[in-house]
Amino acid sequence: MTNLRWLDLIKIKICCYYYELISNYNRVKRKKWYLTVKLIIGLGNPGNEYKQTRHNVGFMVIDELASVYNISVNKKKYKSFLGKGSINDIEVILAKPQTFMNLSGDSVALMLKGFNLSADDLIIIYDDMDMDIGRIRIRDKGSHGGHRGVRSIIDAIGTDSFVRIKIGIGRPRAGMDSSDYVLTNFKKDELPMLKEAIKRASDALSFLIKNNVAAAMNRYNK
């Protein structure tokens, strides 16, 4: 066999080796991409009359994320508006349940089943009366704390072990029922603090999904 023939065989083997190497890399990359999907759900009530209310800060954060990362949250499925995209090279699904707050769990359970995800892949964003306006807090698990939307989710999926980002909305004035308070709009002088909290929550979520919950809590729970 001539030297030229040997060289041709070597070139073919090298090409086959690199083709197999690249194919294996792509398979691993696709698998990793699938395994890192995060379902990010903001809680709120559907309808324009609730759009600017305190109970809808979860929706507001989803809108902020959708704007920053150019994700259209307009597909109606699983009793929710949702959209797929990526944040920091992690595939995400942004969602705003349309069931009204007290039945949020119905939609969340449908999405987890429909996308073949678990509570480990879930991040819930919602309002918290026990924190001042402008503050956020990240937790990796915990009770519903009286929040009916979170209680509905825990009841529907059977666990409270999921990540949540809570946005402070302040306490109602003396004598005002909390269920009425959460349906009030933010006051004009509260809007700058609200805007900052929404941005901070968006930044925290971006950091969280790229790193881990413990690191995010250390950085943003202040």
Q: What is the pLDDT of residue 25?
A: 46
Which residues carry out catalysis? 55
What residues are paired with 185 via a beta bridge? 53
Q: For residue 173, what pLDDT is reported?
A: 86
pLDDT reported for residue 179: 87
Q: Can you give the pLDDT at residue 186?
A: 95
| Predicted local confidence at residue 5, as pLDDT | 60
Please give the average pLDDT of every successive group of 10 residues along the chain, which has 222 residues. 56 57 47 63 96 96 96 96 93 96 96 94 95 94 90 95 95 87 94 96 94 92 85
pTM: 0.82
**What local confidence, expressed as pLDDT, does residue 24 receive?**
52
